[in-house]
Amino acid sequence: MDNRQEIINNHYNNYDEDSRLVKDHTHNLEFLITKNYIERYLKQGDKILEVGAGTGRYSLYYAKKGYDVTSIEYVKHNLDILKSKITDDMTIRAEEGDAVDLSRFNDNTFDMTLVLGPLYHLYNDVDIDKAISEAIRVTKKGGIIAIAYITSDGVFADWAVDHLIDGYPNDFDNNFKLIRYPESIFAPFYIDEFKQIMKKHNITFMHNIATDGIGPILSEKINSLSEEEFKVWVKYQLSVCEREDLQGYSCHMLYMCRK
Ligand SMILES: C[S@@+](CC[C@H](N)C(=O)[O-])C[C@H]1O[C@@H](n2cnc3c(N)ncnc32)[C@H](O)[C@@H]1O
pLDDT tens digits, one per residue of 42-87: 999 999 999 999 999 999 999 999 999 999 999 999 999 999 999 9
CA of 18 to the centre of ligand 1 (A): 11
Residue 180 pLDDT exceeds 90 = no
CA of 229 to the centre of ligand 1 (A): 31
* pTM of the predicted model as reported, rounded to 2 decimal places: 0.96
Q: d(Cα 234, Cα 215) in Å, to the nearest integer?
A: 10
Name the residue with the closest Cα to ligand 1, atom 10: 117
Q: Does domain 3-258 have CATH number 3.40.50.150?
A: yes
Q: Taking CB atoms and a 6 Å cutoff, what residues make up the pocket around ligand 1?
A: 8, 12, 17, 21, 51-54, 57-58, 72-75, 78, 98-100, 116-118, 120-121
CA of 68 to the centre of ligand 1 (A): 20
CA of 17 to the centre of ligand 1 (A): 9
Q: What number does the ligand 1 atom closest to the CA of 54 have?
A: 27
For residue 80, the tally of other CB atoms under 10 A from its CB is 13
Residue 169 pLDDT exceeds 90 = no
**Coil, helix or strand for 182?**
coil
Residue 168 pLDDT exceeds 70 = no
Cβ(94)–Cβ(56) below 8 Å: yes
Model pLDDT, residue 62: 98
Task: Report the sign of the C-alpha dihedral through residues 90, 96, 97, 103, in that order.
Answer: negative
Of 205, 166, 182, nearest to 127 (Cα)? 182
- Per-residue pLDDT of 188-204, as tens digits, reads 999 999 999 999 999 99
Q: Are strands 252-258 and 204-210 parallel, antiparallel or unpaired?
A: antiparallel
**Coil, helix or strand for 5?**
helix
Residue 3 pLDDT exceeds 90 = no
Model pLDDT, residue 1: 64
